[in-house]
Structure 1
Amino acid sequence: MNPKKTIIWLGILIVVLSLIATIGPLLIMDKGEFYGFMTLRGEEVLIFGEGLYKFDSVFAASGFKGQDFVTLFLGIPLLSIALFYYKKGSLKAGLLLLGVISFFLYVYASMSLGAAYNGLFMVYVLLFSASLFFLIVLFVNTGLEILPAEILKALPRTFPAYYLFLCGVVTLVVWSVPLVSSAMQGAPPDLLDHYTTMVTDALDLAIITPSTFLAGWLILKRNPLGYQMAFSLIGIIVFLLPIIALSTYIQFVNGISYSTGEVIGPISGFLVLGLLGIGVLWSILRKLPKEIFS
């Protein structure tokens, strides 16, 4: 099958499946209430106890609800619009698709591997798989690699590259410092709750962090691959902007409190990175032609 058609059909599949994944929690509303649960490590965790996320902690379930809302009302519409213009031959739409689909891949890899098992597990796995192969096929068919040399030379380097370096440093510090501190104290991480491992930390430290440094270095070398990686990585960061804001609000409503340091550090830090990321994407897009292939 033509790569472009493969991307379109995978995109349609992802839209349909993600509608199920995000609307499902709104329909599965069996009543319940928060309750305490003693973990194998002898710590008491507050479990959500209601709806699709009834076996998740209050902290995680609140985050999932914020994530679902952003995916439903922002992620799916942006994916649909970008697919429409990509089908028409838009290079810019293809690059934006890299960012949007990377967000879907990140979300449903996390849900497949980290959320407590629920009735939509197979939907999460299908979305994880479809998003992964969508990204692979799109990555080698964006058209950026065939741009004339004069256009590539006109693309901004310093701002995108150093922004990516900053993202890598922030992500490394935010996730690794608490993990190292917990290991030195011989205690589980604060946000482990009743889960078996730190899935988000693993994905960010093993994949996202080194990718930001590699993408920044490639951009400084004016390698088209660096710009493609940048759109994938920054897409995730930009989506984190509304997710963190909404999830933090829902967590606050559900009784989760944050220290001043947590608000100023991880929460505010990622919000600022999200806003800067929008500026980076715009600085690149404005230098690109509207179409590159048919």
Structure 2
Amino acid sequence: MRKQILLAFLSLVVAILAIISTSIGLFYSTDGEPFEFITLHGDSITMYGRGIYAFDSFFKVPILRGTDAIILFVVVPYVLLNSFLYMKHSSQINLLFLLSGLFSILYYATSITFGVHFNSLYLVYILIFSASLIGFVWGSSFVDFPLLTKEVSSKYPYRGVVIFLFIAGCSVFIWLVEIIGALATNEIPFGAIGYTTDITTVLDLGVIAPLSFITCYLLVKRKPIAFLFASNLVTLSGFIGLMVIAQTVAQALEGIILPVGQYVGFVGTFVMLSLFAFSLTIRMYKAFGNNSEQV
């Protein structure tokens, strides 16, 4: 029981750090105005000029703040709820969904630690990254895969999860259009202007896509570890869909209006994937819910 309490405590620390980071990102403001900045590559970019993200681009800050909103109001409560349930019941299903919350915060923490210009929250970013990484890796060692195999019912949505993860894995290759175009013209991708790289592209192409395809294979082969990977990826995908909606609203509030085609094609696609992901999450939970035992 001690390890369950320690993991729940570490999850609480992660949640508190995330609350600090996202609250300041959303609500902290300073005097200042947007200003122009010439990058090392000679490109002119408008910087936000105020708040904790003063030295990030005017285009990127609404994306950061939209993400902050979903982490603060959706992901953190999700982690706290599953942390409480895991500490109370210590069941494998509660552990899986707690880990999926930590995995989602780890994705967020990686993005801000490596993708935001240096600011006064830098040490907080490092702490969130470290605590969520340690919590996720350590907590994953508690998963009893033979027990999971016994607990899962015939209602587990194998086919739905495989189809979803294959589509989600393929969808991130849209980033290659911008990257290949930039390489062909010897220019900088729009999302990376003013930055060393675009961390979202790195995570999506380098981690999420291959892990999605690997999980598809493992599910087809009915490998128990696939349950861990699937819950992490499907839950994260659901949250990302909500983030895209929040980011779009935040951009509109800043006067950044995208073409209708992008709203329909990009935002609409993520909304549909998010709904699909949450539907699968509920079905996965139910597939374990009637059989879950304490560890």
TM-score band by shorter chain is: over 0.9
Aligned CA RMSD, in angstroms, stands at 1.9
Give 1:86 shift: 0.7
Question: Mapping of 1:22-61 within 5 angstroms?
Answer: 22-26=22-26, 28-61=28-61
Q: Which runs of 5+ in 1 are unaligned?
A: none
| 1:206 alignment partner AA | G
Tell me the secondary structure at the aligned position of residue 42 of structure 1: coil
Question: Mapping of 1:78-89 within 5 angstroms?
Answer: 78-88=78-88, 89=90
Instruction: Work out whether residues 143 and 292 of structure 1, in 8 Å CA contact, stay in contact via their aligned partners in 2.
Output: no
Instruction: Work out whether residues 26 and 69 of structure 2, in 8 Å CA contact, stay in contact via their aligned partners in 1.
Output: no
CA–CA distance in structure 1, aligned partners of residues 188 and 81 of structure 2: 43
Question: Mapping of 1:103-252 within 5 angstroms?
Answer: 103-149=104-150, 151=152, 154-172=155-173, 174-252=174-252
| 1:222 alignment partner AA | R
CA–CA distance in structure 2, aligned partners of residues 63 and 211 of structure 1: 25
CA–CA distance in structure 2, aligned partners of residues 22 and 273 of structure 1: 25
CA displacement 1:70-90 (0-9 Å, x = unmatched):
111111111111100011223
Shift in CA distance, 83/223, structure 1 to aligned 2, threshold 3 Å: same
Instruction: Work out whether residues 152 and 224 of structure 1, in 8 Å CA contact, stay in contact via their aligned partners in 2.
Output: no
Give the stretch that moved more between structures: 118-127 or 59-68.
59-68
Instruction: Work out whether residues 154 and 287 of structure 2, in 8 Å CA contact, stay in contact via their aligned partners in 1.
Output: no
Instruction: Work out whether residues 155 and 287 of structure 1, in 8 Å CA contact, stay in contact via their aligned partners in 2.
Output: yes
CA displacement 1:33-71 (0-9 Å, x = unmatched):
112212122221111000111000112111111111111
Give 1:150 shift: 7.3
Instruction: Work out whether residues 48 and 58 of structure 1, in 8 Å CA contact, stay in contact via their aligned partners in 2.
Output: yes
CA–CA distance in structure 1, aligned partners of residues 151 and 118 of structure 2: 51
Aligned counterpart, 2:95: 94
Q: Which runs of 5+ in 2 are unaligned?
A: none
Give 1:134 shift: 0.9
Give the stretch that moved more between structures: 239-248 or 256-265.
256-265
CA displacement 1:191-227 (0-9 Å, x = unmatched):
2221111111011111110000001111111112112
Please report the TM-score for the alignment, with normalisation by the length of structure 1. Answer: 0.93
CA–CA distance in structure 2, aligned partners of residues 280 and 9 of structure 1: 28
| 2:53 alignment partner AA | Y
Tell me the secondary structure at the aligned position of residue 155 of structure 1: coil
| 2:7 alignment partner AA | I
Shift in CA distance, 4/246, structure 1 to aligned 2, threshold 3 Å: same
Instruction: Work out whether residues 49 and 55 of structure 1, in 8 Å CA contact, stay in contact via their aligned partners in 2.
Output: yes
Aligned counterpart, 1:20: 20
Instruction: Work out whether residues 238 and 274 of structure 1, in 8 Å CA contact, stay in contact via their aligned partners in 2.
Output: yes
CA–CA distance in structure 1, aligned partners of residues 134 and 261 of structure 2: 39
Shift in CA distance, 27/156, structure 1 to aligned 2, threshold 3 Å: closer
CA–CA distance in structure 1, aligned partners of residues 42 and 186 of structure 2: 14
Give 1:113 shift: 0.4
CA–CA distance in structure 1, aligned partners of residues 60 and 145 of structure 2: 38
Give the stretch that moved more between structures: 281-290 or 30-39.
281-290
Give the stretch that moved more between structures: 143-152 or 188-197.
143-152
CA–CA distance in structure 1, aligned partners of residues 269 and 27 of structure 2: 34
CA displacement 1:155-188 (0-9 Å, x = unmatched):
221111111111101112x211211121112211
CA–CA distance in structure 1, aligned partners of residues 27 and 162 of structure 2: 43
| 1:106 alignment partner AA | Y
Give the stretch that moved more between structures: 213-222 or 87-96.
87-96
